[in-house]
């Protein structure tokens, strides 16, 4: 081996190899750091312990004809939803089947309005309150309002009507007069707002109350729901959107924060990895040209080695070894760079996530090994092809 090496190392350009080494090192380090950062941040946006949390999608069927009654979800349709992998949990909206009349004393005058209530299972509600319960015989009905309503009043209505702005605490202190009627009953209750929801755009009462009141005032069991609430990991996921589209359902979609963040993350990583790829690609071209030139300059020696009995693969070995050592050193150094970088940024990520995250560079290692293997295989291929060509009978 040493004799062949002594022969074939002639004309090796240290400069060209150094350019390749530096360029590919930069490219590889950037690529590996990019994919590693991506794989470290992605679970924070989409996983179980997500920074933003799982998302909720409220699904309705569009109204098709006026006056036909709201379209509802049949038991089969609901079952189909439950069978989907992306549905982590599913809740049905129950609507009041009786008359609701709400009133409020304002400047000594009684303002009253017709209203309706809806209820969803407690696990879907994003408000925590000790008062959120109802038992038969209670005179007080806890209510959750959409935060939107308050915003609409404060930033829209009150401004134009010269009315005072109101805070959440003020509303929570107000007693609403609620009169429920139907099925031969008519009773007055006190309504008390216990919180505001960002998730649910309706006037919510506890499920226990709804079940009881529908039986008592409407003598009706809960009918088919008109709206469903789904808990999903990522509402922007293609399987979710395509399922909804296929069945003609529509989602009351506010743009999902995590999908926006995920998109931004993907875009950034794509740019970073793209730059890394360009560096690596150019460096591989430099190496390829350098090897070709080297083989061309040593062509007589290569021919003679084959003529005295060396196999093409044996002749290729020193050059293969050279590219192997170069590429493996690049991989090793890039991984060290990624380890160090990861140690730095994991601290910040842990602060954001609020719990300690463990740094594991698995993604960088896997991608690095694959990428290096591809480059090495390509180098071997061009070396072997060139030497085969030299060895061919003329």
Partner 1 sequence: MDSIRLSNVVPEIFASREDLHSDIWHSEVTIERDKCYLIEAASGTGKSSLCSYLYGQRGDYRGTILFDNEDIAHFSTNKWSDIRQRHISILFQDLKLFGELTALENVAIKNNIAHTQTLSQITAWFEELGIGDKLHSRIDRMSYGQQQRVAFIRALCQPYEFILLDEPISHLDDRNSDIMRDIVLRDAKQKGAAVIATSIGKHMNIDYDKLLRL
Distance CA 14, CA 33 (A): 28
CA torsion sign for 10, 13, 18, 20 is negative
CB of 4 to partner 1, least distance (A): 7
Q: Which two tokens stand for residue 19?
A: 């350019």
Contacts 24+ apart (CB under 8 A), 175-179: 176/102, 176/103, 176/104, 176/143, 177/102, 177/103, 177/104, 177/105, 177/110, 177/112, 178/100, 178/101, 178/102, 178/103, 178/141, 179/100, 179/101, 179/102, 179/103
CB nearer partner 1, residue 75 or residue 308: 308
Is residue 309 within the footprint of partner 1 (CB under 8 A)? Answer: yes
CB nearer partner 1, residue 355 or residue 393: 393
Using the rule CB under 8 A, which residue among 86, 310, 345, 378 binds partner 1?
Answer: 310
Q: Which stretch binds partner 1 (CB under 8 A): 48-56, 210-218, 219-227, 307-315?
A: 307-315
Q: Which stretch binds partner 1 (CB under 8 A): 191-199, 220-228, 253-261, 299-307?
A: 299-307
CB nearer partner 1, residue 154 or residue 391: 391
Is residue 110 within the footprint of partner 1 (CB under 8 A)? Answer: no
CB of 301 to partner 1, least distance (A): 6
CA atoms within 13 A on the CB side of 317: 14
Is residue 104 within the footprint of partner 1 (CB under 8 A)? Answer: no
Residue with tokens 């950037």: 30
CB of 7 to partner 1, least distance (A): 6
Using the rule CB under 8 A, which residue among 66, 68, 135, 308 binds partner 1?
Answer: 308
Is residue 7 within the footprint of partner 1 (CB under 8 A)? Answer: yes
267 Cβ partners below 8 Å, 6+ apart? none
Is residue 65 within 8 Å of residue 200, measured between CB atoms? no
Distance CA 27, CA 63 (A): 55
| Contact pattern for partner 1 over residues 366 through 385, marking x by CB under 8 A | --------------------
> Beta strand pairing status for 227-232 and 89-92?
antiparallel
CB of 307 to partner 1, least distance (A): 6
Is residue 68 within the footprint of partner 1 (CB under 8 A)? Answer: no
Is residue 72 within the footprint of partner 1 (CB under 8 A)? Answer: no
CB nearer partner 1, residue 110 or residue 394: 394
Q: Which of 139, 122, 100 shows the shortest CA–CA distance to 206?
A: 122
Is residue 91 within 8 Å of residue 225, measured between CB atoms? no
191 Cβ partners below 8 Å, 6+ apart? 102, 140, 141, 143, 175, 176, 177, 178
Helix (H, G, I), strand (E, B) or coil at 103: strand
CB nearer partner 1, residue 316 or residue 367: 316
CB nearer partner 1, residue 308 or residue 377: 308
CB nearer partner 1, residue 7 or residue 19: 7
CB of 388 to partner 1, least distance (A): 7
CB nearer partner 1, residue 140 or residue 391: 391
Q: Which stretch binds partner 1 (CB under 8 A): 191-199, 261-269, 309-317, 335-343?
A: 309-317
CB nearer partner 1, residue 10 or residue 260: 10
| Contact pattern for partner 1 over residues 9 through 38, marking x by CB under 8 A | -x----------------------------
Q: Which of residues 311-340 bind partner 1 (CB under 8 A)?
A: 311-312
Is residue 68 within 8 Å of residue 62, measured between CB atoms? no
Is residue 360 within the footprint of partner 1 (CB under 8 A)? Answer: no
Give whole-number Cα distances, 242 to 239, 245, 251, 257, 375, in Å: 5, 5, 12, 20, 38
Residue ranges that bind partner 1, judged by CB under 8 A: 3-4, 6-7, 10, 301, 304-312, 388, 391-394
């Amino acid at each position: 081996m040493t004799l062949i090496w002594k022969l074939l190392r002639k004309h090796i350009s240290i400069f060209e190899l150094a350019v390749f080494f530096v360029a590919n090192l930069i490219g590889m380090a950037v690529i590996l750091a990019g994919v590693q950062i991506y794989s470290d941040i992605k679970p924070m946006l989409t996983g179980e312990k997500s920074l933003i949390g799982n998302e909720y999608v409220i699904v309705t069927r569009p109204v098709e004809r006026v006056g036909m009654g709201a379209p509802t979800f049949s038991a089969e349709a609901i079952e189909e939803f439950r069978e989907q992998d992306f549905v982590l949990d599913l809740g049905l909206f129950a609507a009041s089947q009786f008359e609701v009349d709400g009133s409020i004393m304002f400047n000594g005058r009684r303002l009253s309005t017709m209203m309706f209530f809806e209820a969803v299972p407690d696990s879907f509600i994003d408000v925590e309150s000790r008062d959120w319960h109802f038992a038969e015989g209670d005179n007080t009905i806890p209510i959750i309002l959409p935060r939107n309503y308050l915003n609409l009043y404060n930033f829209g209505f009150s401004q134009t009507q010269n009315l005072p702005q109101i805070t959440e605490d003020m509303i929570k202190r107000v007693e609403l007069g609620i009169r429920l009627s139907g099925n031969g009953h008519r009773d007055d209750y006190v309504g008390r707002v216990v919180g505001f929801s960002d998730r649910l755009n309706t006037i919510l009462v506890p499920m226990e109350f709804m079940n009881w009141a529908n039986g008592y005032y409407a003598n009706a069991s809960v009918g088919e729901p008109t709206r469903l609430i789904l808990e999903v990991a990522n509402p922007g996921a293609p399987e979710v959107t395509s399922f909804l589209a296929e069945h003609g359902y529509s989602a009351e979609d506010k743009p999902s924060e995590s999908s926006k963040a995920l998109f931004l993350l993907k875009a950034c990583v794509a740019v970073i990895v793209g730059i890394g790829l360009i560096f690596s690609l150019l460096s591989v071209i430099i190496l390829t040209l350098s090897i070709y030139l080297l083989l061309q300059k040593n062509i007589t020696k290569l021919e003679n080695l084959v003529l005295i009995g060396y196999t093409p693969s044996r002749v290729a070995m020193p050059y293969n070894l050279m590219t192997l050592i170069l590429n493996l050193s690049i991989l090793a150094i890039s991984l060290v760079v990624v380890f160090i970088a990861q140690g730095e940024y994991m601290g910040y990520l842990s602060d954001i996530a609020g719990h300690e995250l463990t740094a594991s560079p698995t993604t960088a290692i896997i991608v690095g090994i694959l990428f290096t293997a591809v480059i090495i295989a390509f180098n071997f291929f061009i070396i072997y092809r060139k030497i085969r060509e030299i060895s061919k009978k003329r």
